[in-house]
Amino acid sequence: MSRAMFEYTKTVLNKVSFNTPLFCREVQKALSRLLPYEIEELKLFIQGLVNTNPDLKKCLIYLN
């Protein structure tokens, strides 16, 4: 089931990537729900989104 949560999180983050504050809130929620190894995968996924939408760079502070 955990993998399903990770996939769901990626879907949500893709859909809200147009709105930086909402994206940041969803990142915070994801960090509280996901397992440690999934958080590492999420970091890579978010880096890819930041490359296409530089405004999301603000949200990287939650990943450190």
Tens of pLDDT along 21-52?
Answer: 999 999 999 999 999 999 999 999 999 999 99
Residue type present at position 56? L
Distance CA 62, CA 45 (A): 14
Cβ within 8 Å of residue 57, ≥6 positions away: 50
Q: What is the extent of the structural domain holding 12?
A: 2-63
Structural domains of the chain, count:
1
Q: What is the pLDDT of residue 64?
A: 83
